[in-house]
């Protein structure tokens, strides 16, 4: 006589829950890696630019003392290179990345090239800012003001792109990085425009709420700017 299997059939998973795969440890590791990198990056950026952050928190109207704060921002370029280095480590190592160590290592390696970029950018922006204040009272202000604003925007865009090149192209000198950054800023103007918008958001957050703005805003937005810069460099390097 044939024996019948009396074991109850396993219930079939039905509905939406049966079709959703369980998230793996890799997904959680990647999310944690991004969050950890962003939080550590914001803290380290604040420490690297402590005089600027402290004065922003203490001065009631930073815009009125813009030359002073622009001079203090000379420390931003090396710290930005360090933050970009931590983003590069996150891209290369994923969840195994160590953002604090990558930031410190990137600061040490990139300081020699990023610091002159920051100093030159601040000098150019100070010059343009003084010119802007002077020409506003001139009859040709309607023509000169847009030119000065475009020059200031290009200065910022080229500087950030060059700082990204310090990390992405560690073997290149400043002269070649500046040439490539100028070319990419003009050719990929839409990426430059997006970068300026992101930097404007960061600056606005830092001016309105210095503590919260510096603690939350910079790293996620700068990650987008770095990704755009990395894409622009990779596109030009892969071109025949």
- Answer yes or no: are the C-beta atoms of 49 and 74 closer than 8 Å: no
What local confidence, expressed as pLDDT, does residue 98 receive?
A: 86
Domain boundaries along the sequence of the chain: 26-238
Angle at 75 between CA 204 and CA 63, to 5 degrees: 35
Give which of 151, 191, 43 is closest to 104, Cα–Cα: 43
Does pTM top 0.95 for this prediction?
no
What local confidence, expressed as pLDDT, does residue 239 receive?
A: 54
Give which of 109, 215, 219 is closest to 163, Cα–Cα: 109
What does the pLDDT profile of the chain (240 residues) look like in tens digits? 444 444 444 444 444 334 333 444 455 457 777 888 899 999 999 999 999 999 988 888 888 889 999 999 999 999 999 999 999 988 877 666 788 999 999 999 999 999 999 999 999 999 999 999 888 888 887 888 999 999 999 999 999 999 999 999 888 888 899 999 999 999 999 999 999 999 999 998 888 887 777 777 889 999 999 999 999 888 776 655
**C-alpha pair distances (Å), 125 with each of 40, 48, 72, 79, 101:** 29, 21, 13, 19, 32
What local confidence, expressed as pLDDT, does residue 224 receive?
A: 93
């Amino acid at each position: 006589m044939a024996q019948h299997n009396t074991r109850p059939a396993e219930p079939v998973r039905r509905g939406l829950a049966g079709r959703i795969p369980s998230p793996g440890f890799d997904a959680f590791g990647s999310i944690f890696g991004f969050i950890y990198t962003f939080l550590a990056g914001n803290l380290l950026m604040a420490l690297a630019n402590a005089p600027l952050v402290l004065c922003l928190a203490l001065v009631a109207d930073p815009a009125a003392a813009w030359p002073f704060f622009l001079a203090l921002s000379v420390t931003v370029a090396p710290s930005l290179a360090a933050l970009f280095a931590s983003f590069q480590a996150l891209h290369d190592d994923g969840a195994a990345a160590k953002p604090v160590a990558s930031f410190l290592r990137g600061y040490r390696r990139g300081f020699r090239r990023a610091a002159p970029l920051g100093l030159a950018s601040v000098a150019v922006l100070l010059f343009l800012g003084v010119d802007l204040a002077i020409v506003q009272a001139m009859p040709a202000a309607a023509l000169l003001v847009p030119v000065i604003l475009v020059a200031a925007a290009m200065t910022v865009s080229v500087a950030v792109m060059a700082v990204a090149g310090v990390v992405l192209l560690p073997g290149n000198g400043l002269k070649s990085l500046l040439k490539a950054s100028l070319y990419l800023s003009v050719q990929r103007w839409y990426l430059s425009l997006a970068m300026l918008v992101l930097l404007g958001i960061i600056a606005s957050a830092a001016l309105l709420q210095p503590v919260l703005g510096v603690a939350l805003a910079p790293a996620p937005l700068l990650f987008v700017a770095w990704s755009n810069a990395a894409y622009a460099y990779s596109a030009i390097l892969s071109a025949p």
